[in-house]
């Protein structure tokens, strides 16, 4: 078959660095985490939050999220790792198998713990996180491209993804190109992230509403794209396990969004305990480093020496006047000397 136009898969999925092999899949995940951290930190500080709060929440949410993503994947692919004929290593996360649904559940638990510790409002932080989270998922999908995994059915169109024989399903060894579901989800998540940023800028969504829209956007896209994939999965009737989970998440997100619109209107004015509201120019009105306060203090400090100098001047004038008065007074005549 002549492949006039198709998407090639990378010939390698990592590189050797001394005794350690660095997998591109892991680098894609890390790049997504860095992007999410950077964007969330900027958005959180713009809402009046403290940057160290983001660091604390990340330290809790990321490790728990990674653990949860692996646990969810192993549980939903139990036969690949345990039982007769199992060949997978449940600890080998570098080989792929990090489920975003597990990351969301466990990561949310970690964020809730950290929010309690720092005094941050969890709903406000979730809103700050939502665009960065779905953009991070977009980058993470590139890892599936490097691993040549999680692709769809046969596709001989211009977007057909070339898959090497050892990665093809057993009943499709003669098929050369497949649907690039990694690209579908990458594109969907990228568009979803930009949409969330626009919606937040346009309507100033708060109190958890932006995060519920993230659940709707991601859940809807994942439900459709999951149905195209050919990798093994437990089934719930005609639906794959992840399709069921995606559908549940999308429905929960939609219901919560409508409830929040009605019962939680507006947006938080203060996003964490102890963090003060910022002024329009970004200065903290209660800060000791407030430029206005410093200016007033400097003016007062400058006026004190001036007042002292003026007082000293008046005293000097009074002394001079007394001296002049003494000079003009007639002196008593001295007795004549013999």
pLDDT per residue as tens digits for the range 177-236: 999 999 999 999 999 999 999 999 999 999 999 999 999 999 999 999 999 999 988 899
User: What average pLDDT does the chain have?
Assistant: 84
pLDDT per residue as tens digits for the range 135-160: 999 999 999 999 999 999 999 988 99
Q: Which residue has the higher pLDDT, 201 or 309?
A: 201
Burial class (CB in 10 A: 0-12, 13-18, 19+), 18: exposed
Assign 312 a pLDDT band (cuts: 50, 70, 90). Answer: low
Alpha helices of the chain — where are they, by DSSP H?
24-46, 51-76, 78-81, 100-118, 122-140, 142-147, 181-203, 209-226, 241-263, 291-328
Domain boundaries, the chain: 25-263
Q: Which residue has the higher pLDDT, 233 or 54?
A: 54
DSSP 111-151: HHHHHHHHTB-HHHHHHHHHHHHHHHHHHHTHHHHHHT-S-
| Position 328 pLDDT exceeds 50 | no
Q: Give the predicted TM-score (pTM) of the model.
A: 0.78
The pLDDT, as a whole number, for residue 4 is 56
| Position 324 pLDDT exceeds 70 | no
Assign 334 a pLDDT band (cuts: 50, 70, 90). Answer: very low
Assign 274 a pLDDT band (cuts: 50, 70, 90). Answer: confident
The pLDDT, as a whole number, for residue 86 is 77
């Amino acid at each position: 078959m002549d492949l006039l136009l198709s998407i090639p898969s990378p010939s390698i999925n990592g590189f050797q660095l001394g005794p350690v092999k660095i997998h591109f899949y892991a680098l894609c995940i890390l790049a997504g985490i860095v992007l999410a951290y950077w964007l969330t930190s900027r958005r959180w500080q713009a809402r009046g939050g403290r940057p160290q709060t983001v660091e604390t929440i990340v330290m809790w949410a990321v490790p728990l999220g990674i653990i949860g993503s692996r646990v969810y994947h192993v549980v939903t692919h139990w036969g690949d790792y345990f039982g007769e004929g199992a060949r997978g290593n449940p600890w080998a996360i570098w080989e792929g198998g990090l489920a975003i649904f597990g990351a969301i559940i466990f990561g949310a638990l970690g964020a809730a713990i950290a929010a309690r510790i720092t005094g941050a409002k969890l709903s406000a932080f979730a809103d700050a996180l939502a665009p960065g989270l779905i953009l991070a998922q977009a980058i993470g999908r590139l890892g599936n491209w490097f691993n040549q995994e999680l692709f769809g059915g046969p596709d001989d169109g211009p977007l057909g993804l070339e898959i090497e024989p050892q990665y093809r399903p057993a009943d499709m060894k003669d098929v050369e190109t497949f649907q690039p579901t990694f690209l579908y989800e990458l594109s969907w998540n990228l568009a979803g992230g930009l949409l969330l940023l626009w919606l937040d800028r346009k309507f100033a969504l708060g109190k958890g509403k932006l995060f519920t829209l993230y659940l709707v956007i991601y859940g809807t896209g994942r439900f459709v794209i999951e149905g195209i994939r050919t990798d093994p999965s437990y089934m719930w009737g005609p639906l794959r396990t992840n399709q069921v989970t995606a559908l549940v998440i999308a429905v929960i997100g939609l219901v919560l969004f409508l409830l929040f619109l009605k019962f939680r209107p507006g947006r938080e004015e203060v996003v964490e305990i102890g963090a003060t509201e910022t002024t329009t120019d970004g200065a903290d009105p209660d800060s000791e480093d407030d430029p206005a306060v410093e200016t007033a203090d400097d003016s007062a400090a400058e006026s004190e020496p001036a007042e002292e100098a003026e007082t000293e001047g008046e005293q000097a004038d009074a002394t001079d006047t007394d001296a002049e008065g003494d000079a003009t007074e007639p002196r008593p005549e001295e007795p004549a000397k013999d």
